[in-house]
């Protein structure tokens, strides 16, 4: 990475910490002005508060991306433990699928196995999957389908996310995962900071794996994550640590793609 880019990525977490404190105060003030009990009794108030929540979650998602940007300057493996990857991926897809319906999208999870244990960094893998799902939801029109498949083949775990969206132009594919390095190819503000896919690639490499993309304009995109099929002997645990500050992790991860209706109280029940 270029020295200037490396220094910027290292600075991002400090900026994020400052923003996170200010956002927490704003969220607390909004909650006091429109408490859940009042929102339940007043649909108009709930709609206004949902718009505030949507904006807050989108800003918090951006701050979280800035916090994670330091990974772009690091090398070496991520800490992994033996986990049931079928359950992990299935849970993410189940939570995201309910919200995808608000966009008139169908999310399918396809896996022939009921359980399969392998060594992964669960939090990082969830972040990667949510990022790919968020991209698919943003660029797939209503009525489309997002398909997540999980396979075990020849010593590799293959996780694919495919959509029926607008696709990616051929000229962008070669540098798709380095867009942060190319200011002329970064996403416009409505689509993000351009950090998502580079972070996904870093997560893949941190597992000793790879992340590739296939796409044709007008025919959708397909992202293929390949991880080594291995176990490290650590105890399998179903306990997941919460790094979201108590906020809904699915809403946070998909905030950029979701409509305001997802933030109504009735949508979160």
113-127 pLDDT tens trace? 999 999 999 999 999
Residue % of the chain over a pLDDT of 70:
82
> What are the two backbone dihedrals, phi and then psi, of residue 227, each rounded to the nearest 5 degrees?
-125, 150
134 pLDDT higher than 50 = yes
- Give pLDDT tens digits for 163-218: 999 998 888 887 788 755 444 444 444 455 567 888 899 999 999 999 999 998 88
241 pLDDT higher than 90 = no
6 confidence band (pLDDT: 50, 70, 90): low
Least confident of 5-19, 77-91, 98-112: 5-19
> What are the two backbone dihedrals, phi and then psi, of residue 32, each rounded to the nearest 5 degrees?
-70, -35
The rounded distance, in Å, linking the Cα atoms of 224 and 211 is: 6
The rounded distance, in Å, linking the Cα atoms of 146 and 17 is: 34
Which residue reads 């404190």 in tokens? 21
Closest CA to 260 of 107, 22, 58, 114: 58
Q: What would the mean pLDDT of 254-258 be, rounded to a whole number?
A: 94
Q: What would the mean pLDDT of 75-81 be, rounded to a whole number?
A: 88
- What is the predicted pLDDT for the residue at 246? 59
Domains and CATH numbers, the chain: 3-74+254-268 (no CATH), 81-238 (3.30.565.10)
Closest CA to 23 of 226, 176, 252: 252
CB atoms within 10 A of CB 254: 24
- What is the predicted pLDDT for the residue at 175? 77
Phi-psi map region of 167: left, alpha, beta (phi>0 left; psi -120 to 50 alpha): left
Give the best-scoring range by mean pLDDT among 130-134, 214-218, 241-245. Answer: 130-134
Closest CA to 191 of 213, 215, 171, 166: 166
Q: What is the mean pLDDT of the chain?
A: 85
235 confidence band (pLDDT: 50, 70, 90): low
SS3 state at 210: strand
């Amino acid at each position: 990475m270029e020295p200037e880019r490396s220094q910027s990525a290292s600075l991002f977490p400090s900026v994020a910490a400052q923003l996170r404190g200010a956002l927490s105060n704003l969220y607390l003030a909004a909650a006091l002005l429109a408490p859940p009990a009042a929102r339940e009794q007043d649909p108009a108030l709930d709609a206004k508060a949902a718009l505030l929540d949507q904006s807050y979650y989108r800003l918090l998602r951006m701050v979280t991306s800035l916090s994670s940007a330091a990974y772009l300057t690091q090398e070496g493996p991520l800490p992994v433990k033996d986990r049931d990857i079928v359950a992990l991926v299935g849970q993410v897809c189940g939570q995201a699928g309910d919200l995808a319906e608000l966009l008139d999208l169908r999310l399918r999870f396809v896996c022939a196995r009921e359980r399969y244990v392998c060594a992964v960094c669960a939090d990082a893998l969830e972040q990667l999957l949510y990022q790919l799902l968020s991209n698919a939801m943003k660029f797939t029109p209503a009525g489309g389908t997002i398909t997540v498949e999980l396979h075990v083949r020849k010593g590799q775990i293959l996780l694919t996310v495919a959509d029926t969206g607008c696709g990616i132009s051929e000229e962008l594919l070669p540098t798709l995962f380095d867009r942060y390095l190319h200011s002329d190819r970064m996403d416009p503000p409505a689509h993000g900071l351009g950090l998502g896919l580079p972070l996904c690639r870093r997560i893949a490499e941190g597992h000793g794996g790879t992340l590739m993309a296939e796409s044709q304009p007008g025919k959708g995109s397909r992202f293929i994550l390949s991880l080594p099929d291995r176990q490290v002997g650590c105890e399998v645990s179903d306990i997941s640590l919460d790094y979201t500050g108590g906020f809904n992790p699915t809403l946070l991860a998909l905030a950029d793609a979701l409509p305001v209706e997802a933030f109504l109280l009735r949508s979160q029940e």
